[in-house]
Chain A
Amino acid sequence: MRCTSEIDVRDVDESCINIDPIQVGGRLTADAMKAVIAYGDGYSVCDHCRKPFRLDFIQKPPIQQFHKELAAFVNMDEARVVPGARRGFQAVAGTYVQKGDPVLITALSHYTEVLAVENNGGIIREIPADDGKTITTDSAAETIETVSREFCRPPVLLFLDHFDYQYGNEHDVRGIIRVARQHDIPVVYNGAYTVGIMEVDGKGLGADFVVGSGHKSMAAPAPSGMLAATTERAAEVFRTTEARTDLTGRTFGIKEVEMMGCTLMGVTLVGMMASFPHVRERVKHWDEHLSRGRKVVESLERIVGTRIQSEMPRNHTLTRVDTIQSFDKVANTHKKKGFFFSSELKARGIAGIIPGATKVWKFNTYGLSAAQSDYLAETFLGIAEKYGLDIQ
């Protein structure tokens, strides 16, 4: 089946249970798909853009109201939509980081935080993870002290992932933010794996900024995301242009410098908006998704030799698993090598695990129904049984 002569239809989620670690929270709702159908054209949300000609002032569709609701959703004062969480990091780094400034991230931070700092000439320092691959308050406090001594001043910014992309482990954001505030370090709460799937209270945590990913966790098309800030920080990161061109003397109203003017001007924004009522509701049911994920993890643990590398019990549906002593042993003698596992999964209607991976791999069960998560758990056990692996 093809969309065009050269582009295949993408039907992975219609045909399979998709457990791709980065895709599941970004799957569109039915309402988002419908909005995408109607608003696919380029500047589709701009039909009713009037003075002062800025995206977050548009009232039809209700984009202005959506911005207010987005800020409230994460308990912050102001919010803007951005083309992905990374553009939120970039905006904050562009505001606070100068060449040679020390900036803290963690040993499990996403690479786009590094790029955002590098782009402004900042110097990265990482807070180390402990043996369990979590970032502790003590570790953060120690690193802040060390970096402050090294640079004779505190770091200018701290990027902090609530749950990291490598293990899906939870880090002590509340404690770490408290320590950062004692040193007057602004904190960017990276909610790429939380905002849109579980409740987030930005000001309650003490964060200066909350960044969310539309396409990762808010059932929105890519690239989309949000950057929310406290009133104080909003005045800085959402500052408006003061430029006047020399020859023509042109000025540019209230366009925001870090946003590069308007951000999501069509299908990405309207998809995000259409999903939002469902997203706001689904965060209240995070425990159900977590419980289903834990059942799948339990079934994997029953396969002798399999080790869950993520923290246990699981506090997130993204999990990293080591199957070197189970499925990888099968791969060593199988004619398809590591591809036997993905082939077996595909034959049973499971997609999203990197083809060929049998040593260490990640999966995410978010969004599966109870029947689908049960099926997935049975599928892992069924493959193990087929290849003679011991099951406890």
Chain B
Amino acid sequence: MSKRAVDTVFEALFTLTDIRMMLRDTAPQHRLDDDEKEAADAMLRSLEGNIRTLREELIG
């Protein structure tokens, strides 16, 4: 069992959920202001980290 992999999957799904909410909050034009762009950038970096972790845990 890889607890780290399990936790990372949820963490990534939750971050994607926050991105989904950002799409909802800015619909229909999805024009992000500077603060929102900064938040989106942080979330995407977090996701990239999650993918790296999952690669390590599942593929080696």
Contacts and interface: CB of A to CB of B under 8 A. Distances in A.
B27 A13 contact: yes
A243 interface: no
B27 A16 contact: yes
Interface in A1-56: 13-17, 27, 30, 33-34, 37-38
Interface residues of chain B: helix, strand, loop or mixed (majority):
helix
Interface string B8-26: 0010011001101101110
Interface residues of A, number: 17
A13 B27 CA distance: 7
A38 B18 CA distance: 15
Interface string A140-184: 000000000000000000000000000000000000000000000
A14 B17 contact: no
B60 interface: no
Contacts of A14: 20, 23-24, 27
B28 A349 contact: yes
Contacts of B24: 13-14, 27
A348 B28 CA distance: 8
A27 B25 CA distance: 12
A17 B27 contact: yes
A33 B21 contact: yes
Contacts of A375: 28-29
A16 B28 contact: yes
Contacts of B27: 13-17, 349, 372
A369 B29 CA distance: 13
Contacts of A348: 28
A375 B30 CA distance: 13
A37 B23 contact: no
A350 interface: yes
Interface in A334-392: 348-350, 369, 372, 375
B48 to A, nearest CB: 20
A144 B1 CA distance: 67
A235 B27 CA distance: 47
29 contacts: A13-B27, A14-B23, A14-B24, A15-B27, A15-B28, A16-B28, A17-B27, A27-B24, A30-B17, A30-B18, A30-B20, A30-B21, A33-B17, A33-B20, A33-B21, A34-B13, A34-B14, A34-B17, A37-B10, A37-B13, A37-B14, A37-B17, A38-B10, A348-B28, A349-B28, A349-B29, A372-B27, A375-B28, A375-B29
Given A17-B28, A349-B29, 9 more contacts: A13-B27, A14-B20, A30-B18, A34-B14, A34-B17, A37-B17, A348-B28, A372-B27, A375-B29
Interface of B: 10, 13-14, 17-18, 20-21, 23-25, 27-29
Q: What are the 4 tightest A-B residue pairs by CB atom distance, in nearest-first order?
A: A349-B28, A14-B23, A30-B21, A33-B17
